[in-house]
Structure 1
Amino acid sequence: MNNQHISGIIKQFQQYKSTGDKTMTQLSFEDINYQPNEDSNSISIIVKHLVGNMLSRSTNFLTEDGEKEWRQRDQEFEASYRTKEELLANWEKGWNCLFDAISPLKEEDLNKIIYIRKESFTVSDALIKQLAHYAYHIGQMAYVGKMLKGDQWISLSIPKRKNL
């Protein structure tokens, strides 16, 4: 059986990772830590949250609940990265964990049942849930980056008024 669905899912995750990568490449560490107010998340905090989610959901993906006891979700919303390099290394660690978990999957795995917070999901539904969650937050990252860079922003897609 081919892995057309799995490879499509992996490609989508790779595209969102690339969007995050291209966003952070354009920003200074100061930009990455920008918060308009204390109730808003900086890009740094969003990255920390995404990494926490990736590590929790992807570790022992098929055999353990995706919400690990060791995850400290509330702490993900506290700024703690000291350098951009530390943030980017953690970003890569999260994505590597995700890709290591889903790359070996086979089509027949998509209908298996896994758990997240003791709620059952098919593997397919859990991956869609994760993909949507990451797209949501990476879109926030790109929006903040674009806002901060203004006319210095390098578009991540087709720029306005540049229809081909």
Structure 2
Amino acid sequence: MSIGSILLQTSIDTFKSAERLGYKTLLQLSYEELHLKPSPESNSIAIIVKHLHGNMLSRWTDFLTTDGEKPSRNRDAEFEEGYDTREALLEAWRSGWELTFETLQELKEEDLLSNITIRGEVHNVIQAISRQIQHYGYHVGQIVYIGKQIKDADWQQLSVPKKASRL
């Protein structure tokens, strides 16, 4: 296995881990809880999902050939309102990640050092993937943290529960 294929697979695995943590959080919350804002200047989980979805569509559509910030994207609108239904939110979550995974799985090792642009700034593909791993990890962390605050004692652990026996 080459370094490039290991890098791609590791990136996909990292994104999948973030997707699972976020999804497990979303499943624990009601429609109302998904739209709850921790403070007036904070974003609800629904807004964070809307932003991630918009980012994913913009970044991963025609990834190698067009700027990652598409002219059709209205980033400011991603921070307004939420979703009409819980199902619409979950569909946005699913479709954004699906596009991310499809694009990553289509990449070839020789693509990794190709240059792409994001907001007019040149990045090689490795840098662009790394940038998105950091960005999505940041927002999934917010989703998990807000979800845990909302559910409090009813929170279902996403990974190893506290006081789990150690082998």
Interval containing the TM-score (normalised by the shorter chain): over 0.9
Give how far 1:98 is off: 1.1
TM-score w.r.t. length of structure 2: 0.94
Equivalent position to 1:96, from 83, 95, 98: 98
| Alignment counterpart, residue 109 of structure 1, candidates 108, 111, 116 | 111
Q: How many Å separate the matches in 1 of 2:40 and 2:69?
A: 26
Cα offset, 1:163, TM superposition: 4.8
Q: Does 1:137 align with 2:139?
A: yes
- The aligned amino acid for 1:77 is F
**TM-score, length basis structure 1:** 0.96
% identical equivalent positions: 48
Give the superposed CA RMSD.
1.2
Question: 1:110-132 CA deviation, whole Å, 9 max, x = no partner?
Answer: 11100000100010010010011
Q: 1:127-159: CA deviations, max 9, x gaps?
A: 010011000000000001111111111111222
- Of 120, 123, 132, the residue aligned with 1:121 is 123
Alpha-carbon deviations, 1:14-46, whole Å to 9, x = none? 110000110011111111101022210000000
Tell me the amino acid that sits aligned with residue 39 of structure 1.
Answer: E
Contact 2:35 2:46 in 1 (8 A): yes
CA distance in 2: counterparts of 1:90 and 1:157, whole angstroms:
24
Q: Please show how residues 1-16 of structure 1 align to structure 2 within 5 Å.
A: 2=2, 3-16=5-18
Q: Does 1:81 align with 2:83?
A: yes
CA distance in 1, matches of 2:137, 2:124: 20
Task: Identify which range, 112-121 or 35-44, moves more after superposition.
Answer: 35-44
Give the CA deviation at 1:106. Answer: 1.4
Q: Which amino acid aligns with 2:99?
A: C
Deviations 1:82-127 (A, max 9, x none): 1100111111111111112111111221111000001000100100
What residue ranges of structure 2 are gaps of 5+ in the alignment?
none
Corresponding position of 1:35: 37
Structure 1 runs (4+) deviating above 6 angstroms are none
In 2: Cα distance, 1:159 partner to 1:99 partner: 28
Deviation per residue, 1:34-84 (Å, 9 max, x gap): 102221000000000000000000000000000000000000001230110
Distance across 1 between alignment mates of 2:123 and 2:129: 9
What is the total number of aligned residue pairs between the two structures? 164
